[in-house]
Amino acid sequence: MLQPASARTNRLSLTFAALLTGVGCGAPPPIDKQLETLASWTATMQLAKERHGAGAITITYATQLRDRADEAFQQASTTIGQSAHTRTDSAYAAAALDSLRTAIRQLESEVGS
């Protein structure tokens, strides 16, 4: 988990990036983009688990990947609800969040953290 000072600078960074990219208008990304991002991080966790199992990546690196996936999970958890306008959207969102949570846990048990 991020420390408060890290969270503050992270927020500053995201605000600056949003201003620069012109997306600082408050609306969360569309649901399909968020689902894509969640699926991408789920696949990243699965690949990291596989590569760690094969001895190709260090625990230090796997832990960093886990932390970044966790950040993506936390971010999507707070925004995806606003983008899900139908029951089907909500069901897909819940399934995608669940898949990523499971993949993060599997990597954690693989690296023993």
Written as one letter, the residue type at 8 is: R
Closer residue to other proteins in complex, CB, 46/106: 46
C-alpha angle 52/54/55, rounded to 5°? 65
Q: How far is the CB of 34 from other proteins (least distance, A)?
A: 11
21 interacts with other proteins by CB under 8 A: yes
Question: Is residue 113 classed exposed, middle or buried when 0-12, 13-18 and 19+ CB atoms within 10 A define those classes?
Answer: exposed
Q: How far is the CB of 42 from other proteins (least distance, A)?
A: 9
DSSP H helical ranges for the chain: 4-21, 31-53, 59-83, 87-111
Select from 24, 53, 64, 94 the one that contacts other proteins (CB under 8 A): 64
**Sites of contact with other proteins (CB under 8 A):** 6, 9-10, 12-14, 16-17, 20-23, 29, 33, 36-37, 39-41, 43-44, 46-48, 51, 54-58, 60-61, 63-65, 68, 72
